[in-house]
Structure 1
Amino acid sequence: MKIRLCLLAVLILASQMSGQEQVAKTGFSFGGVPAIAYNSDAGWTYGLIVNTYNYGDGSMYPDYRYSLYTEWSRTTGGGGVNKLFFDSKYLMPKDIRITSELSYLTEAMLPFYGLNGVSAEYRPGFESEDSTTAYISRAYYRHLRNTVKFTADFQRKFMSDNLRWIGGFGFLNTDVDTVDVAAFNEGKDAVDQLPVVDGLYAEYRDKGWIGADEAKGGKTNYVKFGLVYDTRDNESNPMSGLWAEGLVTVVPEALGSDFSYTTLTLTHRQYFTIIPKDLSFAYRLGYQSVVSGRAPFFMLPYYQSSYQVTEGLGGSKSLRGILKNRIVGKSVAFANLEARWKFYRTVIFNQNLYLALNGFMDAGKVLANQPIADGGN
């Protein structure tokens, strides 16, 4: 299995500024932006993102008393995000931090390129209408997945100011199926309709490579525990320090799960100042493995974290420039290297903003293959 490398052109980003040289903010702060973006995996994204912060009396700025992230967005590829994410270090007693998410995520055409990275051959012509000989369907490497998710994590300092224990739980209910081709074809001219053919997901299901117990989704309720070591100088915009964590996630049938397995996740992030306030270098190393039991295929792309669970490997949150969920297996590892240059700062509608250019290189690899389901051919 080859290591996937990607070196792309710099990106233009906008975000909330560090408060290091800003006047402390107090009370509530609201920021709303249209969710407008494009990537090759999901197509165009449109919607609205609203961030709400409560800074209290300003004594903790740039930290906030609590924040609430709200997103409603849709994609032209058939995806949808309905999400609330809450974060607070100061509301709970005994300095316990809570992060919690409630979301309903819909994916009418979620990428599925098979299991185990490059062991599953990808043929672009199968989904490209420009290929007159190989084309099967734009939905060949796609399937449907809808997920209802509620998670809550709790953290508290342990033995030192920089070390924290973490414990949490999550309830996920996932529905999986083939792409609803009839819904996509409704109202379209014959020349624009998708062919009615089985995709790769259906082939995996029919051959038994995906088990009957996981082929349609199911419940994956879990508990999580671990340790976090954090010396970042500024949590939302670090210029120095490190952020490392080791997490164990247990999915037991005793919590109502349809599956039983355990994963180990190790992540190390570090930040270096090159030019004070303006230029920094950051890297991230990640490893995740199913250490007992067998995880259902639809949970393999999820990567655990002490803050927010992400999806990959492949896509904008993990390996930029690599197809979303292209590198999926029982055990995976990845690395991100990034230079961050903040070249312009301003205040718009009382919000501290900056523009930045990011240059990066990402790599990922499947270390251990997901075994085929019992009874698979």
Structure 2
Amino acid sequence: TRQNKKSISKNGFSFGLLPVVAYNSDIGFQYGLVVNLFNFGDGSLYPDYKYSVYTEVSRTTRGGGINQVFFDSKHMLPHEIRITADVSYLTELALDFYGFNGYDAVYHPQLEDDEDPNYRSRMYYRYARDFLRVTADLQGKLPVKNLHWLAGIGYFNLIVSSVDIEKLNKGRDVQDILPDTALLYDQYIDWGIIDENEKEGGIIPSAKLGLVYDTRDNEPSPNKGVWSEALLFYVPEIAGSKYSYVKLAITHRQYLPVIKKKLILAYRMGYQGTIAGDAPFFMQNYIISSFAKVTTTDGLGGAKTLRGLLRNRIVADGISYGNIELRWKFFETILWKQNLYLALNAFTDAGMALQKIDTDKRLGLEPWEQEFYFDPGAETLHVSAGGGLRIGLNDNFIVAFDYGKAFDERDGNDGFYAGIGYLF
């Protein structure tokens, strides 16, 4: 790739450090560190690298945590076979849960507002999850230029339960105590919507096969090109798994230069759905991709799918989504022998449920409860918009800040996100 005259070629090792600092009144302070190491070798590959290692370790003061190591290399295996591997252990004391099928599940913000007379719990739309994820994917070239095969395996072990209210209440002032009451997750179990063999999680061994077409000039921050993929995600009933299903994930991304290397129009369109078998509820929000560097792969809704929407607002058997961004790199310089740039982005995100999870097996609900919790047929397109800032180091390590606003109050209000990299 020809270098911009305002940048320098990098060789050897480079790394980015990002402190993790966040706060949530129910989970507490989140603190930790992200380290992204790059080995550029002799510099001839720049802005590509021989290999990259991404590590994140963070904790919350009330027991949640992220532990992740992600490895990526196109140049260590023979025949230019790319390997990406991920080992993550993610603990969530309060993961968002708003029911199934988007707007078909009615969201009542007053139920989690402790100043509202209808308040139940700030944890009402939450459940707990411990998630062990181990994946390894290989990509190799095919005779067609820029077309690659992909084959991968994965092992997931998920333990889910209701929120541990007693643990969260430790050390709280009396006025901040969370009530011990049934949460939406508990009710979905009682109503028979979440099956008994799914309510505590389970083991998910997986195989992934697909095709990837990639013409991007720089993966972390493309100036031009296409990145498309079609993947099959197969879960067999082996190795302790009680489930068997196949999902199809199709994603198309394109990067259009409006002003060369300065102003880029980027968009992404995706579909993911079950084509055979029955996926357990706790895997319905897992977003399938050829490049699993993203720490939290939940959706739709939230930092990595539909910014500004409640996280996991749309959970269904099949989903579609789209994002369009205008990215403006407005400042570039060399600082302490490092290539540095600043960029702004404006975006619109949208998505909806296409294949719905069966919720008709509701048990023991009064007519008013049917109307209060469910609105069959209400699902339509969810939309948000917003903007953000990127700080790029050596074209690979990118610190990201985004703010998104939901267009419909049924999706919540807004969201602010700090993390690593562009959305796509």
| Fold agreement, TM-score > 0.5 | yes
2:155 corresponds to 1:168: no
Q: Verify: 1:237 aligned to 2:221, yes or no.
A: yes
Cα drift, residue 307 of structure 1: 0.4
Q: Per the alignment, in what secondary structure is the counterpart of residue 281 of structure 1?
A: strand
State the partner residue of 1:345: 332
Cα deviation code 1:87-108 (max 9, x no counterpart): 0000011111000000100000
What code does the residue aligned with 1:147 have? F
5+ residue gaps, structure 2, are 365-424
Q: CA shift at 1:43, angstroms?
A: 7.5
Structure 1 residue 67 corresponds to structure 2 residue 62 = no
Q: Letter of the aligned partner of 2:115 in structure 1? A: D
Secondary structure, counterpart of 2:305 in structure 1 = coil
Q: Does 1:182 align with 2:170?
A: no
CA contact 1:211–1:374 (8 Å) conserved in 2: no
1:75–1:345 Cα change, 3 Å:
farther
| Selected match of 1:143 from 124, 127, 138 | 127
Aligned counterpart, 2:85: 100
CA contact (8 A) 1:77 1:109 kept: no
Select the residue among 50, 55, 71 that pairs with 2:40.
Answer: 55
AA aligned to 1:33 is L
The alignment-based identity, stated in percent, is 51
Whether contact under 8 Å (1:140, 1:199) holds in the other structure is yes
Q: Which stretch shifts more, 34-43 or 110-119?
A: 34-43
Query: Alignment partner for residue 128 of structure 1, among 113, 118, 130?
Result: 113
Q: Deviations over 1:283-320 (max 9, x none)?
A: 00010001111111111111111101622100010000
Q: CA deviation at 1:128?
A: 1.0
Moved more, 140-149 or 308-317: 308-317
Distance 1:249 1:115 in 2: 21
Tell me if 1:205 matches 2:189.
Answer: yes
Structure 1 CA distance, aligned partners of 2:182 and 2:29? 25
Matched, 1:152 2:139: no
- The equivalent of 1:359 in structure 2 is 346
Kept in 2, the 8 Å contact 1:78–1:109? The answer is no
Who is 1:336 aligned against? 323
* Change over 3 Å in CA distance of 1:278–1:42 after alignment to 2: farther
Write the distance in 1 (CA, Å) between the matches of 2:362 and 2:179: 30
Are the equivalent residues in 2 in contact too, given 1:112–1:142 (CA < 8 A)?
Answer: yes
- 1:216–1:183 distance in 2 versus 1, CA, 3 Å: same
Partner Cα separation in structure 2 for residue 126 and residue 372 of structure 1: 21
User: Structure 1's 281 and 83: CA in aligned 2 closer, same or farther, altered over 3 A?
Assistant: same
SS at match of 2:146: strand
Task: Select which of 258, 261, 281 maps to 1:274.
Answer: 258
Which whole-Å deviations, capped at 9, do the CAs of 1:7-28 have from their partners, x for residues lacking one? xxxxxxxxxxx95442211111
TM-score w.r.t. length of structure 1: 0.90
Name stretches of at least 5 consecutive residues in structure 1 with no aligned partner: 1-17
Q: Which amino acid aligns with 1:332?
A: I
> Is 1:311 aligned to 2:298, yes or no?
yes
Q: Does 1:113 align with 2:68?
A: no
State the structure with bigger RCO (CA 8 A, min sep 6), 1 or 2: 1
Contact 1:210 1:376 in 2 (8 A): no
**Aligned counterpart, 1:297:** 281
Q: TM-score, normalised by structure 2?
A: 0.81
Is the CA contact 1:261–1:295 (under 8 Å) kept in the aligned structure 2? Answer: yes
Any conservation in 1 of the 2:67–2:88 contact (CA below 8 Å)?
yes
Alpha-carbon contact 1:211-1:376 (below 8 Å) kept? no
Compute the RMSD of aligned alpha carbons.
Answer: 2.1
Contact 2:62–2:168 (Cα < 8 Å) also in 1: no
Task: Please name the residue that 1:322 is paired with.
Answer: 309
Do the aligned partners of 2:215 and 2:226 also contact (CA within 8 Å) in 1? yes
- The reply on whether 1:216 has 2:200 as its aligned counterpart is yes
- CA shift, 1:79, in A, is 3.4
Give the Å deviation of 1:352.
Answer: 2.1
Shift of 1:350: 3.7
Q: CA deviation at 1:234?
A: 1.6
How far apart are residue 36 of structure 1 and its match?
3.1
- Partner-residue secondary structure (3-state), 2:145: strand
The 1:313/1:236 distance shift into structure 2, 3 A limit, reads same
Q: Is 1:29 aligned with 2:14?
A: yes
Q: Which stretch shows the higher mean deviation, 199-208 or 306-315?
A: 306-315
Moved more, 312-321 or 76-85: 76-85
CA distance in 2, matches of 1:140, 1:272: 43
For residues 361 and 82 of structure 2, the distance between their equivalents in structure 1, rounded to whole angstroms, comes to 42
State how far apart, in whole Å, the 1-side matches of 2:16 and 2:149 are. Answer: 31
Secondary structure (helix, strand or coil) at the match of 1:221 reads strand
Distance 1:263 1:347 in 2: 45
